[in-house]
Amino acid sequence: MDLISNLFYGLPLLYILYLIWKIIDRERHQNCYILDYECHKPTDDRMLSTKFSGEIIMRNKHLGLNEYKFLLKAVVSSGIGEQTYAPRMVFDGREACPTYEDGILEMEEFFHDSIDKLFKRNKISPSEIDVLVVNISMLACMPSMAARIINYCKMREDIKVYNLTGMGCSASLISLNIVENIFKNEKDKVALLVTSESLSPNWYVGNDRSMILSNCLFRSGGCAILLTNKLSLKNKAMFKLKQLVRVHHGAKDEAYDSCAQREDIQGNTGFHLDKTLPKAASRALVDNLKQIAPLILPIRELLRYSIAIFMKKMNWSSTKGGPKINFKTGVDHICLHTGGKAVIDGVGANLNLSEHDLEPARMTLHRFGNTSASSLWYVLGYMEAKKRLKKGDKMLMISFGAGFKCNSCLWEVLRDLDDGNVWKDCIDNYPPKTIVNPFMEQFGWLHDHEDPHTFIIPDDYVIS
């Protein structure tokens, strides 16, 4: 009788304990870890110097004095240095007539280099990859770039494949969200995330100022990231994903039109950057931070900010300007998309960040330019190369993209990191004493001319 009673009362308890264990075990396998990442550094023969940049501009016969002055002002204030990289067809003088293969070869050069290095360093076979997510916004080909990677690496037939296009500079975190959702439903998986942008078919050769600006900002690059939810690989992981928030303002016409691929009146394809872009980015950022702040900041900071807002509304506060929430109370490092100097300055002002916080983004913009969706990983590489990332630190990534989108995520650093990655051969030179580029010194003579109708560049002019 006692045995029956014990079983009667004990079995439900055991079942409840079993359910609790199942929930805990499931959550343990739902985590998303970064095992490693590899940023691409193109070969030196693709490096854009001041001299060669001037030659590219002079090849564009649609430009006049006013466009030259506009470009000079844009480049001088861009924050971009002389060691960024461009597509190979630009160096062949074919930016006005790129071929289909130019875009393909640009991408293959990237992933043959970065994926091979990533697999070799981690001693992982392509056959171990369960999930492949590729995002290249402005290149759609058949077969897809994901299929080309599978063919090149000889991956398994049952691999889950996602090929994203049109997602813009924020595509990395969208791809990461896909991986995260798969990891929540399937145990013991390894994923490869490949992020880049193909500039070859999208180099603008017209004279529309809103479109030629993209030539000053966007540069070649890419990154391959290895992720897993395997508990057996947890001790090898670099980062653990804590939160991810996505905001999309596509329903707002002003935000939707702020940056888009289009043709100018002459039929030249390019990427349009509207004057409304800073406002669209600011609004998307605010809405994103409203969602992620309660998830990552301590209660004391949320209470302080709420009280400050209340006091401001009641006119009990004498402080000028609106109260600002302090993200550094819950975040140790801010990893910003290098969308341009104005984007970095704007986010820094909104979040009240110091120059130390903004240094990784500024230096990445200077050294590599805006590499679109992969730029976040170059910024992360700078932090790692500078040995800023210590075990237990929290790092917030923020990216913007056409649509208009603002995505953010929070990572926890799982061990002290100090690998130089793509920065290893130049990190000791950063930050430089000045990030002023020599374009004004080289081309400042343009300001000596006033009349665009009489201005001509002499046939024998040679850029020194």
Annotated catalytic sites, by residue?
A: 169, 248, 333, 337, 366, 370
Residues 6 or more apart whose Cβ sits within 8 Å of residue 407:
170, 173, 174, 177, 244, 245, 246, 247, 288, 398, 399, 401
Q: Residue 346 burial by CB count (10 A; 0-12/13-18/19+): exposed, middle or buried? A: middle
Residues 6 or more apart whose Cβ sits within 8 Å of residue 135:
163, 164, 165, 167, 171, 172, 174, 175, 194, 195, 196, 373
Q: Which residue has the tokens 């308890």?
A: 13
Q: What are residue 408's DSSP bridge partners?
A: 245, 398
82-113 as b/e, with b when 16 or more CB fall inside 10 Å?
bbbbbbbbbbeeebeebeeebbbbbbebbbeb
Query: 131-136 and 394-401: which strand pairing?
Result: unpaired
Distance of CA 23 to the CA centre of its chain: 34
Q: Which element (helix H / strand E) includes 67?
A: helix 65-76
